[in-house]
């Protein structure tokens, strides 16, 4: 996750965070942590939940990213593909409920479809039968990370490493979970363990770089990222991490080059677009920053950092109303975004709305407590103020018009009386 520091002169400093679990997982699966065992007449499930020859489903278990209602060329829904992928494992379990490999295979199908809760329950069933299987423990730990159950994931990886202490992939994911728990010294030790077990694991070099970057050691982080890229030049997340470290070393031009290289490999990663946006802000290229963070929002609309970046770009372009709207969206998505709060106060000041924190908190408390989704349009504090000012102005205008009308009527009445007196004299 990006953390942004609010610094002077409108420069905003993205700190590279460690979110390597899902990214490392694909690489980590290239070699097995331990044997999953064989299912009866089903074949040997691999790390992605695919079966061996006799149980192969012909790719029907693939994830449909557009939703379960979409149909493929064979007019088959994702729901049907899921059921087809599960079917051989369920048959094996029906014949032998103690077939741990079949339970693990079923769990892997759920995992491939991002059904993490179902996957966890099924892996736990496999572990009830075969509690010391390192492969099942590894998969369970990964699923727990997807569910943000970091402490339990750490316990699972610790148990796995008691059984298989030289598991490079387990040490690598342990690095990631320790980073999420802000235990960076232990995370660095874990990354060294992963590399001592397998110095050619690019994901482990990337994890080490991420830990070093989180600790502020950007020069060493770049060396680790370069080692990862030497092993795998197409590792987009290593390029993204290197770009962030370069930014923090005040080398924005090199950072842009690294971000662009990462986007050529993976153009759909919002975090890279956000980082590129902040570099453009630092270079004073506000329009390009706006384009980059708008692209990030199109990929990940619920990213508070992307909206924050967009707000800062608008602010630099003196589009303060638009800036305020973007910053308030960032704060609806993440109410604890300190830098967005500071930036919003700055924009409010530009708009002539001076509101101290106590007044703002008081007004927030007075609002009715209604549950709304993050996409529900809320009336901001400054909008409330402007509305009240507008209502007061309208009231004064009406009173002025009324007074003017009264004076005109009085003047007209006096004129009529004068004319009547003249007519009478005649």
In a domain, 365, yes or no: no
Domain-located, residue 241: yes
Transcribe 144-187 into DSSP letters: HHHTT-HHHHHHHHHHHHHH-TT-HHHHHHHHHHHHHTT-HHHH
pLDDT in tens, 166-204: 999 999 999 999 999 999 999 999 999 999 999 999 999
pLDDT at 125 (0 to 100)? 95
Q: What is d(CA 303, CA 282) in angstroms, rounded to the nearest whole number? A: 20
Give the CB-side neighbour count of residue 70, counting CA atoms within 13 A: 8
Q: Which pLDDT does position 79 carry in this prediction?
A: 85
**How high is the pLDDT of residue 345?**
93
Q: Residue 421 pLDDT more than 60?
A: yes
Which range marks the domain in which residue 88 is found? 3-302+313-322
In a domain, 375, yes or no: no
**pLDDT number for residue 216:** 94
| pLDDT-derived band at 78, boundaries 50, 70, 90 | confident
- 133 secondary structure, DSSP code: -
pLDDT digits (tens, 9 = 90+) for 250-308: 999 999 999 999 999 999 999 999 999 999 999 999 999 999 999 999 999 999 999 99
Q: Is residue 89 included in any domain, yes or no?
A: yes
Which of 15, 62, 346 is closest to 213 using CA atoms? Answer: 15
pLDDT higher than 60, residue 248: yes
Q: How far apart are CA 44 and CA 82, in angstroms?
A: 19
Mean pLDDT of the chain, nearest integer: 78
Burial of 118 (0-12, 13-18, 19+ CB in 10 A): middle
251: which 2 tokens? 């080398």
pLDDT digits (tens, 9 = 90+) for 1-45: 333 343 333 333 343 443 443 444 444 444 333 333 333 333 333
In a domain, 423, yes or no: no
Per-residue pLDDT tens over the stretch 376-407: 334 444 454 445 555 555 656 666 666 666 66
* 147 belongs to a structural domain: yes
| Mean pLDDT to the nearest integer, 317-332 | 94
Global confidence as pTM: 0.64
% of the chain surpassing 70 pLDDT: 65
The answer to whether 134 touches 167, Cβ cutoff 8 Å, is: yes
Q: Give the residue from 75, 81, 89 showing the smallest Cα distance to 59.
A: 81
What CATH number is attached to the domain comprising 41?
1.25.40.10
- How many domains is the chain built from? 1
Q: Is the pLDDT of residue 52 over 70?
A: no
Q: Does residue 330 belong to any structural domain of this protein? A: no
Q: Is the pLDDT of residue 311 over 80?
A: yes
- Interatomic CA distance for residues 328 and 20, integer angstroms: 29
- Residue whose pair of structure tokens reads 């997982």 in the numeric block: 25
Determine what percent of the chain is predicted with pLDDT higher than 90: 62
Residue 65 belongs to a domain: yes
Q: Name the phi and psi angles at 79, rounded to 5.
A: -60, -40
């Amino acid at each position: 996750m990006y953390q942004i520091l609010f610094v002077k002169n409108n420069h905003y400093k993205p700190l590279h965070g460690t979110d390597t679990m899902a990214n490392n997982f694909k690489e980590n699966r290239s070699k097995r942590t331990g044997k999953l065992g064989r299912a009866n007449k089903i074949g040997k499930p691999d790390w992605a939940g695919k079966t061996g020859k006799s149980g192969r489903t012909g790719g029907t278990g693939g994830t449909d990213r557009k939703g379960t209602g979409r149909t493929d060329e064979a007019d088959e829904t994702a729901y049907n593909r899921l059921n087809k992928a599960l079917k051989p494992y369920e048959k094996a379990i029906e014949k032998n409920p103690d077939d741990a490999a079949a339970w693990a295979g079923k769990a892997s199908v759920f995992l491939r479809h991002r059904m993490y809760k179902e996957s966890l329950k099924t892996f736990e069933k496999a572990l009830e039968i075969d509690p010391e299987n390192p492969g099942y423990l590894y998969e369970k730990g990964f699923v727990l990370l997807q569910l943000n159950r970091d402490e339990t994931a750490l316990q699972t990886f610790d148990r796995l490493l008691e059984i298989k202490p030289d598991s490079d992939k387990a040490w690598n994911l342990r690095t990631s979970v320790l980073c999420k728990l802000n235990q960076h010294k232990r995370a660095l030790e874990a990354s060294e363990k992963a590399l001592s077990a397998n110095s050619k694991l690019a994901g482990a070099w990337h994890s080490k770089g991420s830990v070093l970057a989180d600790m502020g050691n950007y020069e060493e982080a770049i060396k680790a990222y370069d080692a990862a890229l030497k092993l795998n030049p197409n590792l987009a997340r290593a390029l993204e991490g290197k770009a962030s470290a370069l930014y923090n070393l005040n080398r924005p031009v090199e950072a842009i080059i690294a971000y662009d290289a990462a986007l050529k490999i993976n153009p759909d990663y919002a975090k890279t677009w956000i980082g590129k946006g902040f570099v453009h802000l630092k270079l004073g290229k506000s329009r390009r920053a706006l384009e980059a963070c708008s692209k990030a929002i199109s990929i990940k609309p619920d990213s508070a950092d992307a909206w924050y970046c967009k707000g800062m770009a608008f602010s630099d372009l003196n589009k303060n109303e638009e800036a305020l709207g973007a910053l308030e969206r960032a704060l609806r998505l993440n109410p604890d975004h300190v830098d967005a709060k500071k930036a919003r106060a700055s924009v409010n000041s530009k708009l002539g709305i001076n509101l101290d924190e106590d007044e703002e908190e008081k007004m927030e408390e007075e609002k009715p407590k209604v549950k709304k989704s993050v996409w529900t349009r809320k009336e901001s504090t400054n909008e409330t103020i402007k509305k009240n000012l507008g209502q007061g102005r309208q009231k004064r205008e009406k009173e002025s018009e009324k007074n003017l009308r009264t004076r005109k009527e009085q003047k007209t009445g006096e004129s009529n009386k004068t004319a009547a007196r003249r007519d009478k004299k005649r």
